[in-house]
Amino acid sequence: MMHVADDLGVSLADVAACYRDMNAIADAWFTQAQAAMLAPPPRGFAKKPAKGRLYIVITRWLDALAAHRAVSAQMIGQKLYASHVHHWLPMIFSLSRQVHWILDAAQIESRGRQRLAEEVGGTLVVLATLRVWCRDDSDGHERTRAFLLKRLSQGDQVMARLFGGASA
């Protein structure tokens, strides 16, 4: 926290007045990225296929984090650190909420088993994409974008097989 205070040119007490710990700073950062992801969609968004809507929503979130990708990756790493077990359970719930927001922002309207499959698949796609994104130094995160498109296409095919043409 002393490095944060020093970088901002404020006292440690000023930082403590806003954030209880580094985890709170990370949560605030990811909340800002989520707000960018949930901004009103572009014109014609609802007419796009589900895969395209999911791609737009997820990339909006990653783009909001991209200005400080290395620090964002560090924040994720700190939450996963072996001795930070107290962060693991809240992180699971945060990830679940994030996937629900992604599905809602992408206007995915499903119920029952299909919704459950989309939640599980969405979680796997987000985690795998984050793993690539954290290490992606390509221009405009093109590797991540290509990876995400491929995973969404695979998910679309799986959903079509499982639910008879209903894809998400």
Instruction: Encode pLDDT of 86-131 as tens digits.
Output: 777 788 888 999 999 999 999 999 899 999 999 999 999 999 999 9
CB 106 within 8 Å of CB 54: yes
Q: Within 13 Å of residue 160, how many CA atoms lie on the same side as its CB? A: 10
Q: 22-37 vs 50-66: helix axis angle to the nearest 10?
A: 140
Of the candidates 103, 118, 110, the one whose C-alpha atom is nearest the C-alpha of residue 57 is 103
Q: What is the pLDDT along the chain (168 residues), one digit of tens a residue?
A: 888 889 889 999 999 999 998 888 888 999 999 999 999 999 999 999 999 999 999 999 999 999 899 999 988 888 777 777 777 778 888 899 999 999 999 999 989 999 999 999 999 999 999 999 999 999 999 999 999 999 999 999 999 999 876 444
Task: Catalogue all structural domains in the chain, each as residue range(s) with its CATH number.
Answer: 21-162 (1.10.357.10)
User: What's the CA gap between 142 and 59, in Å, rounded?
Assistant: 11
Note the pTM of the prediction, 2 decimals: 0.88
Q: ∠58-64-68 over CA atoms, to 5°?
A: 125
What is the C-alpha separation between 123 and 160, in angstroms, rounded? 18
